[in-house]
Amino acid sequence: MKYTGAKIVIECLAEQGVKTVFGYPGGTILNIYDELYKNSDRIEHILTAHEQGAAHAADGYARSTGKVGVVLATSGPGCTNLVTGIATAFMDSVPMVAITCNVPTHLLGKDSFQEVDITGITMSITKHNYIVRDVNELAGVVREAFDIARSGRPGPVLIDIPKDITAASAEWTPLAAPVGSVHTPAVNRTNVKIPVASPRAIADAAALISKSARPFFYVGGGVVISDASGELRALAEKINAPVSVTLMGKTAFPAPHALCTGMIGMHGTKASNTAANQCDLLIAVGARFSDRVISDPKKFARSASILQIDIDPAEINKNMPTQACLNGNIKEILASLVSLVSARPRDGWNDSVDEWKTHIPAMYSRKTSLHPRFVLESVHERVGDDAIITTEVGQHQMWVAQFYPFSKPRTFLTSGGLGTMGYGTGAAMGAQAGNPDRTVVHIAGDGSFRMNLNELATISHYNLPVIIIVANNGTLGMVRQWQKMFYDKRYSATTLDRPPDFVKLADAFGIRGFRAKTEAEFVSAFDQALAERKPALIDCYMDIDEMVFPMVPAGKPIDELLLDAQS
């Protein structure tokens, strides 16, 4: 049967199992929105306040569910407003499909109204992108885009469709089997091959692990993406190896586990950073050796051989030279290693790491009217391990990473690679839409929150029961911390002594607002918000000079970390 391009898009989304999309309409994408209207019983559309919020919502939906997130935008400023969200997803390997519409094909390249070359703009921040000039190719492109987005190392894919293509008609043939019950990838025009580690390479890696006296894990977001947390835990326990996690790998290994040493890198723990430079074998799993982790590459893991396990061949030896590598599916590789490695008893290496774990910054116990540690521990006590926590970027993000005891995968959504201020509100919306029965708590700094607070309109309209906690210290806290420590306290453009009043703002959007200046006020406000199961905002007043420690000064070896401002 013949369908219009717009209807083909909707049918392709349905056969990919898409139930929810995020977006904002405009002139060139009207045909697709008209089909969405006709198919609202099959696909829910969440209208955001801004396209950037829609992109972050699709990202949060994908990270929290493991499914492909979908975002729609019109041409010109509509699609360029997606760029930050697409780049955020690209840096953190998030499966997303962005569908944009452009001016009709005969107007392309003529500086037409609201025309922009969005495929050219996003070429470096997508896994692949397309402009569809023939309606007969549309179904194949959409199917292939989803396959590319979710396969191998996931990432965002963009499809740009001129308006006349959405109006033109073509024959439509549905897939023989729905995606999800049987994997049915389309023809792979990009020739992306999923690597498979050889049995010999796995056996050699197992032998390397078995002979190690001081093994140590450096775990990244790839373990979460590949659903390999169970296999990682089994391997770590069998060889009694301490486990450090990156910001993106925070939920890959339970924080309360005896082998967990916490975060590694610029704001990592003394145990993680010291162990990385004292181990004889560093096992990097799904981690890319970011500069925020390794700092000075010549002095990182300087006593160790490095075994790197990753699905992306481009990551092998990119930032650090390795002595051995396994390139392939992390979950399958770890499962094979568990059966091959020799068990290792607890010994003096574990005792040394446990002693380093006792070295914690004094600020963890600092007494203030409302300390970040108290807030985060109080939240966890009330919502448990199944709640999803989102953040913006800055000091509050690091406090969450340091103080919140994550135990389950996909419960911590944050922008790691790009460090996108304004990410978390949209991500919280997407997480709540994808997990309607779970509690979603968004921790925001007052600076980051200002960037996309317009999405309070979306949260209110759809009655998404997100609890927003604004860590309000009246400053761009992380930048101020650097100014205090390295710029002789010249606080240039970081003090936020200006509106809005966040509680009054929440009220304007029809959201319950609370103020909290003390521990008792915070507990009372959070308990009320949790009980009401409605959107809520808690404005938490915090000390402007509260800082994040440990901290490794830029360029220093990671074991030369500061535990306080006087170190």
Three-state helix/strand/coil letters over 233-271: HHHHHHHCCCEEECCCCCCCCCCCCCCEEEECCCCCCHH
Q: Residue 96 pLDDT more than 70? A: yes
Cα dihedral 498/502/503/506 (nearest 10)? 140
Task: Give the model confidence (pLDDT) of 376-427 as tens digits.
Answer: 999 999 999 999 999 999 999 999 999 999 999 999 999 999 999 999 999 9
* Catalytic center residues: 51, 113-114, 163, 478
Which tokens in the block code for residue 323? 């002595």
Q: In the beta sheet, which residues pair with residue 3?
A: 170
Distances (CA, A) of 23 to 8, 20, 46, 99, 458: 18, 10, 7, 9, 11
CATH 3.40.50.1220 domain range(s) in the chain: 199-356
Q: Residue 188 pLDDT more than 60? A: no
Instruction: Check if the beta carbon of residue 80 is closer than 8 Å to that of residue 427.
Output: no
Q: Residue 185 pLDDT more than 90? A: no
pLDDT band at 331 (very low <50, low <70, confident <90, very high): very high
Indicate the class that CATH gives domain 199-356. alpha beta
Instruction: Check if the beta carbon of residue 51 is closer than 8 Å to that of residue 82.
Output: yes
Q: Residue 246 pLDDT more than 60? A: yes
What is the percent of the chain with per-residue pLDDT over 70, rounded to a whole number? 97
Task: Give the model confidence (pLDDT) of 443-457 as tens digits.
Answer: 999 999 999 999 999
Q: What integer pLDDT is reported at residue 290 of this predicted model? A: 96
Residue 61 to residue 69: CA distance in whole angstroms: 6
Q: What integer pLDDT is reported at residue 389 of this predicted model? A: 98
Q: What would the DSSP string read from start to end of 155-194?
A: -EEEEEEEHHHHHSEEE----SS-TTTS------TT----
Query: Whose CA is closest to 409, among 261, 231, 149?
Result: 231
CATH 3.40.50.970 domain range(s) in the chain: 2-171, 362-541
Of the candidate CATH numbers 3.40.50.970, 3.90.380.10, 3.40.50.300, 3.40.190.10, the domain formed by 2-171 belongs to 3.40.50.970
Q: Residue 182 pLDDT more than 90? A: no
pLDDT band at 192 (very low <50, low <70, confident <90, very high): low
Predicted TM-score of the model (pTM): 0.96
Q: What integer pLDDT is reported at residue 549 of this predicted model? A: 95
What three-state secondary structure class fits 110?
A: coil
Indicate the class that CATH gives domain 362-541. alpha beta
Task: Give the model confidence (pLDDT) of 320-330 as tens digits.
Answer: 999 999 999 99
Q: What integer pLDDT is reported at residue 230 of this predicted model? A: 98
DSSP tally for the chain: helices H, then strands E: 23, 20
Instruction: Check if the beta carbon of residue 156 is closer than 8 Å to that of residue 148.
Output: no
Q: Residue 198 pLDDT more than 60? A: yes
